[in-house]
Amino acid sequence: MKNLLVQFSSSTRRALAVIGAVLREIFDESAYARFLERRQLTTSPQAYAEFLAESRQQRERRPRCC
């Protein structure tokens, strides 16, 4: 029983971690983290403005499905 509970809680944690990662990717938080890492920057209004400027063209050409 205890093993089952442990297994269940670890599966739940994994599932929540995946959902969190999916949401961070959909909402571009991961893309921003990659940008900061690539440019060796820390987060700031300037860094975020640069990220938006860089990703703008790519985002502008991304269609939304019907």
Partner 1 sequence: MVACAQPERPAPDQLSPFTTRCRFATILEIQAASRPPYPTAESVVPMSKPAGVIVWAGVAIAGALSVATIALHRGEEINAMWLVVAAVCSYAIGYRFYSKFIAARVLTLDAMRATPAERLENGRDFVRTNKWVVFGHHFAAIAGPGPLVGPVLAAQFGYLPGTLWILAGAVFGGCVQDFVILLFSVRRDGKSLTEMAKSEIGRLGGFVAYVAVISIVVILLGVCALIVVNALKASPWGTFTIAMTIPIALLMGVYLRRLRPGKVLETSVLGFLLVLLAIWGGSWASHTPSVGRSFTLTAPTLAILIIIYGFAASAMPVWLLLAPRDYLSTFVKLGTIAMLALGIVALRPTLHMPALTRFIDGTGPVFAGNLFPFAFVTIACGAISGFHSLIASGTTPKLISRETETRMVGYGAMACESMVAIMAVIAACVLQPGTYFAINSPAGIVGQLPEVATATISSWGFPVSAADMHSLAQAVGEQTLFNRTGGAPAFAVGMANIFSHSIGGQALMAIWYHFAIMFEALFILTVLDAGTRVGRFMIQDALGHVWKPLGRTSWYPSVLINSALIVGAWGYFLWQGVKDPLGGINSLWPLFGISNQLLATVALCVATTIIIKMGRARYALVTLTPLTWLVAVTFSASYYKIFDPNPRIGFLAHARQLAAAPSTAGIARLIFNDRLDAAVTAILIIMVAMILIESAADWIRILAGRKQPMVRETPFVATRFATEEQA
CA 14 to CA 50: how far, in whole Å? 33
Our CB check for partner 1 shows the closer of 2 and 38 to be 38
With beta carbons less than 8 A apart as the criterion, state whether 36 and 44 touch: no
For the CB of residue 1, give the shortest distance to partner 1 in the complex, in Å. 22
CB of 17 to partner 1, least distance (A): 10
Where does this chain bind partner 1 (CB under 8 A)? 18, 21-35, 37-38, 43-45, 47-49, 51-52, 54-66
Report how far apart the first and last C-alpha atoms of the chain are (Å, whole number).
Answer: 47
Smallest gap from residue 14 Cβ to partner 1 (A): 10
d(CA 47, CA 36): 8
